[in-house]
Every structure is written in structure tokens, then in C-alpha cells.
Structure 1
């Protein structure tokens, strides 16, 4: 077995300094003397024969070699955290599922999907992180997440070795608070001409389909808001800023939680939901429970 000569304690000091941008802040975070950190950084650089950090203004930033080392450190210490969690869970009989939730995915859909994990024989501890799609994919590739729930598939030919699994799809409906619904429900969808409309931003997978749907029906609504975060879009919708689309699978939840009612059906518009994983075949028991719930008619 090859002896790398790496001291992982020194490596952790380098990782912390790179994250904090300086030795002083890293020393404060670690509860150690500045001199201790500096000496062990020097020892690490000497052992590998490369400079890992260089000054840039008042900060220390990684060199090219440091950036490479930092990417490996991210994986090493993420796996270390996972190992510690796994050992703790083995003692308690619990299971951990780290989930990335795309900010464009309806939160009620995410809840429906994850709810399936709570009826398993083994207790599942959910750790949910919300972020932009690309950031979640990077965390998935680094092993920080077990799965990403999203409304889009991974582009073919990408550099990350991750795989898309279609969970389901739902046709769309248009909703609004009762005052707006009464005004625009009659003669739908022609009534949408100049109607106030809330839409996802153009980088959202659904936005292009909505735009095409509106063009095909010859209507030009007034777009009063565009949102990356689906929860923010719904918040503005429930407060009457405009009409908004949502999956028909959530129609009752939209009415109960948001006080919004149906304006009209758009069965030609469909939203898709995906699980993104590191493997072609999903083996995590909690993710398998989600797939089983979908196959049992979760979006029916």
C-alpha cells in the first residue's frame, strides 16, 4: 500500500484556513494558537513539496495546487462526517437521508415525496438542504447529499457522473385568490390577456412551456413578478399579487393552505419531478420508499 505521507490533521488545518481566508480566523475557529496553525501549514507544504496558499490582499487564497487539494479535502471531510453519522445511526437503529431540494421544486411536492420515508420500519432522520440546482449537483457529486429532488433532468454529456430518475409528472392548473379568480375564470384562457401573472424565471424548466402555452392561445398577460424560488412565488400569489400555476396534484393543498381557488385547467402543461443520484440504480432504502410511493399513485 502506498504511503502518502499526508498528515490529516495538517490537512484539516489547511482546509479550515482556505475556507476562513486567513490563519487568524482559522485559529479562532479551531481554538488554537496562530503559531500552531502556521507551523503545521508549513509542515504540510513541505511534506507535499507544493505551496498551497498565497496572500491576496489581506486574505490567504489557494494556489492552483491548493485549489486541487481543497476539492479533495471537501470530499475527505464530507465522507468523515458521513462516517461519524453512520456509526451513530448504527447504534441507534436510525437511518439518515441527506436530501437536496431544488429551489424551483414546489415545496408541497417535496413534502409529499419525503413523507413516504416516515412510514418505514426504520426511523429516518431527514437532513434537507435547499439551493440552486447546479450547487446541489456539486454537493451530490462530492457525497454531501444522498439524492437531489428537482423539476429538471441532468443534461447529457455533463462532467458530473450523476443520473436522473423520473419520479412522476403532473398537469398544471392556474390559481388565484378568490377576487382574481372570479374576474379571470370566465372565458378562460382568453381571459388571461392583460391578466396579472406570476411566473418562474426563465432558467426554470417549466417557464419555456408556459410561454409557449400562452403564445399558442394568443394571450399576452401582464407579468407582474418572476421568481426563482417557488415558495416565494406562491407567497406572492396567496397575497393577491397575481395568478399562478401549480401542479394539479396539489390543487387541494393550494386551496387549503394558500386560500387560492381554481381559475382554469392547463392539461397541456406538465411539470416533471426527478430524483438525481450518484448511481444508475438507487439502493438507499429511504429513496426506494419514495419510488414505491410514486409507483403506488402519489401523483394520481
Structure 2
């Protein structure tokens, strides 16, 4: 129609290259550079044809693929095709690790209908809506609306992740509190002996606070190091740069909550243990 310069159908699937599994998108080769910008670092999307493929940097590194070479791709129904690599791009997280011709991919999936159609040109939304009139289920979205929809979807997924993370932290906190309470309560004879040789209750509690502080500092250091190493490896694999990010306020909140739990789980059992008769506690059998 007038005012439309490029149209890109998008069909999503998952493919295999050897033993490696990659998310893929089937796209219309013609005019692809007008509707997508995956940040090409080698080759060009203009060379896309019916027997070609563009790969992300991660897929290129994994399969040792380079522009001008070939890449065997096993499609959804098990058929394998050999495609020529015409481009390597950086933004594999957003565009999938492989961009295949839509005709090649759609012929080997159970649902060949495009999940979305990207349109570039000067045509207005009203003109596009009029052209899509026979298909009432089609939604015409501008760039800002599309970003809002994707942001809402990402936000919903993030909320699910936060709930799962909260449950893990809660169970971990229960385990830590239980361990500290049991360890502190088991020392009641030691506390009683200290009191019998002249140590005051305040001094015993101060000793426990220093011990807890040392445990907290050691735990925060080791926990942060393990988390950084794990996230750095994941970041390097997904983005090519070992630069994991943790929101400072969230990190401080987790550390502060853990430290508070440690001190409370030590102080309360210690106070209860110090209330017992010292002579009776020393003579009591475990």
C-alpha cells in the first residue's frame, strides 16, 4: 500500500545448531534493515536471502560461525538446512540468536502465522488500521505503545521472579535463624561458667555481639564473592561482558536484613540463657 516502505513478518521458534539450542526468529529478508536494528557488527542484513542466516555474537562464538561461512540449522520438525551466514549482530537477547528467512522457518513449525508484523514507512496508523479492517484481532501499535506493552510484560515476569526470590530468601532466613538459635542455646553452660568466674551478663552479651559481627562480615564477604563470580560468568555468557549489576539499595537492604536477623537470633537466646541459675546450668547434664 502507499506509504509502506518495508514489511517484516516475525515468526518465533527454537532451533538447534549441533547440540546447542538457540531461540530464533523467522523474518522477511527484504527490507529487514529498515525494521530491525540488532546492532550488526559484521556483514549486513541487506544480504539476507532465502538461503541465509544472521547470527548473534553468542551463537557465532559458540558455533565458530563467521560471515561467508555456512551453518547447519535443525528446525522445529527435525529437518536440517544449511544456511550461509551473512551477518553477526550484538543484540541477541532481544532478537534471538538466529534470524532466519520466514519462509524457511515457517514451513517447519506447528504455527506458521506471524506473531507480529513490523512496518516501516510514512503510512499513518489510520491507514494501516483501514487496511487491517477484515482482521479485527489485529492491533496497530506505534513504537511508544509497543515499548509500553513489552515493558508491562517484562514487569509481570519480574514480579514473578521477585516472589520466587522472596520465598527462597525467606526459607534461607528461617534456616539461618534456626542454626543461630540452636548454636547460642547450646552454649548456656559456657555462659554459666563465665558468670561464675566473674563475667557480667553485659560482658557476655558484648562478646556475643562481637562474635556475631565477625560472622556477619565473613558471611557477607563470602556470599558477595560467590554471587559476583556466578553472575559474572552468566553475564559474560549472555552479553559478552563480565559486568553483573546489583541495585545498591537492594544489596544493602539484603545485607542489612541478614545482619539484623543474625543479631536478633543471637541476642534473644543469649538473654534467655543468662537468666538461668549459673550453678544449676553448669551442673546440668546435656
Instruction: With the length of structure 2 as denominator, give the TM-score of the two structures.
Output: 0.25
- The answer to which structure has the higher helix fraction is 2
Pair member with larger Rg: 2
